[in-house]
Amino acid sequence: MTLNIEQIRKDFPILERETKLGTRVVYLDSTATSQKPLAVIEAMNAFYRCSNANIHRGVHTLAEEATAMYEGARERIAKFINAASPRQVIYTRNTTESINLVAYSWARANLKAGDLVILTEMEHHSNLVPWHMLQAERGIELEFIPVTEDGLLDLDMYRTLLTRGPKLVSFTHMSNVLGTINPAAEIIRLAHEAGAVTLVDAAQSVPHLPVDVQALDADFLAFSAHKMCGPTGIGALYGKAELLEAMPPFLGGGDMIREVKLRSFRPNSLPHKFEAGTPAIAEAVGFGVAVGYLSQLGMDAVAAHEREITEYALERLEEIPGVKVFGPSADRKGGVAAFTLAGVHPHDVAQILDQDGIAIRAGHHCAQPLHEKFNISATSRASFYIYSTTDEVDLLVNGIYKVKEMFG
């Protein structure tokens, strides 16, 4: 099955927006956040117009409707990643909070001074800083799987690190800079053989390719709605039931309790044990619709379209004198092209492209250590999604030539 890109683009109202020059916006920043289809926008609007109420505690019609919509979305999300039960899907604010939930709850209950956590050199700050904080607090040890010159993980070094008996291996499924799609199933299998628990940062993979948590055998897996056609302010943490059951609550308050006395409390059952207070109800509704939208398209078709666009983009970018693209070939990466242009700062590239309505990202992309690895402070990054076209890639390339002319 192939995607009907012309029809898909009609689903995204923002792509009709015109720039100051009267041209349509060229949105090449989906790795930062994707655009939202009309179905998601209308579903959230309809919730507020017709069904808005707090969930779980009310017995009136609106409360029951809101609860059914909130929990129905959880069921669709669980099915999307092939979780065995919706109880294993915890709503959070985003991938960052999901990782922090594991760091604060599971890790602080299970890790002590000297215990080893293995990360990688290509991690987003969200999967670095929580472990730095735990290292300062508990004295755990951190080691990192190196990144090779072509943007892949050094799995031989990973196997060597595993001989030191790590307690946790936490890694990104897909790099937000290099686009590298890491061999998650193999990394997890090797970690389990060494007795380690695994945490997968799937913020970039779940929106772009089929992810099956049971096939991967992931212990924890984190992702965000806003990168996959859904709203901001909501994400999810998947966890194996036995691990989640054994973990202490992350936050205390309403809805995460079964019973409260003046001097004690008993936590609620999964998943509510980790969902304190009034949640992002409308956002959950939007999340569920976004998952349904992607499911209708088919994630195999989504991945195939992105490979095609990425392959074309890499060919076009690499023909420009002075452009250096980072990361592996298109068959080993997702829809990301991070690059530098000789003699021009990435922020200048992005700013000049913006004058023609071309939206890309510039900076370290919350991956400063990875940029240091390649001896650069920043890159320009174009990223692609279900609505991206080869015509937009051509406009990007033309824009970079314009930048070159301006800087001589």
H helix intervals, 11-89: 38-46, 61-80
What's 168's DSSP letter?
Answer: E
Given the residues 366, 369, 373, 394, the one annotated as active site: 366
Element spanning 215, H or E? helix 213-216
Q: How far apart are CA 372 and CA 215, in angstroms?
A: 34
Residue 266, φ and ψ in degrees, nearest 5: -120, 130
Residue 293, φ and ψ in degrees, nearest 5: -60, -50
List C-alpha distances in Å: 381 to 179, 183, 210, 337, 365.
Answer: 10, 23, 23, 6, 9
Find, among 140, 149, 137, 99, the residue nearest to 118 by Cα.
140
Burial class (CB in 10 A: 0-12, 13-18, 19+), 349: buried
Q: How far apart are CA 224 and CA 233, in angstroms?
A: 8
State whether residue 246 is helix, strand or coil.
helix
* Lookup result for tokens 């289809």: 37
Going 173 to 174 to 175 to 176, the CA torsion angle's sign is negative
Q: Under 8 Å CB-to-CB from 120, ≥6 apart: which residues?
A: 144, 145, 147, 153, 171, 172, 182
Which amino acid type is present at position 327?
A: G
40, 286 Cβ separation under 8 angstroms:
yes
Q: How far apart are CA 180 and CA 330, in angstroms?
A: 9
Find, among 387, 390, 393, 392, the residue nearest to 9 by Cα.
387
- Please, what's the largest Cα pairwise distance for the chain? 72
Written as six digits, the tokens of 334 are 């997702």
Written as six digits, the tokens of 289 are 């619709």
Beta bridge pairs of residue 383: 29, 336
50 is catalytic: no
User: Annotated catalytic sites, by residue?
Assistant: 366
